[in-house]
Homo-oligomer: A and B are copies of this chain.
Amino acid sequence: MDQTQLQKLDTTVLKWLDQIHHLVSQRVQQRMQIDTKSSRRDLVTNVDREVEQYYVQHIRNFDPEAKILGEEGFGDAVKSMKGRIWFVDPIDGTMNFVKQQAEFATMVALYEDGEPLMAWIMDITQHDVVHGGPDYGVYHNDEKLKLSDDIGLADGLVALSGARLLYEEPGFPQIAKAAIGYRVYGSAGISYLHVLTGKAVAYLSRMRPWDFAAGVALAKSLGLRVGTIDEQPVNMLVSGSVLVATDKAYADIMALLGKKG
């Protein structure tokens, strides 16, 4: 895509995000229907479904040949990364959405033949958006982001998945102890925003594709390191550990865990 096309794509999705900000701001005033999925901690609401349907409808209209991989299942069964694929997480951090009415995000990413084209993460209540792509640059709202200082683990905050840390998944407690501090936000999108804006030096979780597609795309576009702690590359179509970090924090974590970078 050329710059004009990327610009149009960005403008289009930012308009959707505006609409979603307004829609969700209205919905939090109303009574929600809350259901559980795989466990009592895995929630979905009518708003998750409504926002995903909004995305699917608008993406189909805007880019009818692309496939859509969405958390709530209104998209397509995607078996390969060939062609254009939209990853959609309508409400990331549904527990925060339900319990706090704050600290949740919406995430969208567009990939083509396995490579990121553009992605968007919005803290919905704050209407705070990081968006961009490798050939477009990365923006924090209207301001162009530059890669933050290359700070190592011992001098930086890390964001971690609370459950992975609490149940001592290998690597998580070691990283938390080596960092100058760790934070648990309960939302991948909110955690990615911290790393992208230089507030944290790393975010590690074990996630499904819609949880990490936008974060990985934006991190790569900005020049951050992206990998796994399983000595495998990130596979965009399966669940796995995903680490996004500064160069130094990435190297520190790999050394700490005795892994190849």
Instruction: List A residues at the B interface (Cβ < 8 Å).
Output: 40-41, 95-96, 99-102, 156-157, 162, 165-166, 173, 176-177, 180-186, 194, 199-200
Contact = CB atoms under 8 A, between A and B. Distances in A.
A40 B152 CA distance: 14
**Copies, count:** 2
A181 B186 contact: yes
**SS of A interface (majority):** mixed
Given A95-B157, A166-B177, A176-B166, A102 B199 contact: yes
11 contacts: A41-B180, A41-B181, A95-B157, A96-B157, A101-B199, A162-B182, A162-B184, A165-B166, A166-B182, A181-B186, A182-B184
Nearest to A185: B183
A180 B180 CA distance: 27
Contact of A184 (B40, B96, B183, B194): B183
Nearest to A126: B126
A81 to B, nearest CB: 32
A212 B194 CA distance: 27
Contacts of A200: 99-100
A33 to B, nearest CB: 16
Which of A156, A162, A177 is packed against the most chain B CB atoms within 10 Å? A162
B156 A99 contact: yes
Contacts of A95: 157, 180-181
A96 B182 CA distance: 10
Given A157-B186, A162-B183, A183-B185, 15 more contacts: A40-B180, A95-B157, A99-B156, A99-B157, A99-B180, A99-B181, A100-B194, A162-B182, A166-B173, A166-B176, A166-B177, A166-B182, A181-B186, A182-B184, A183-B186
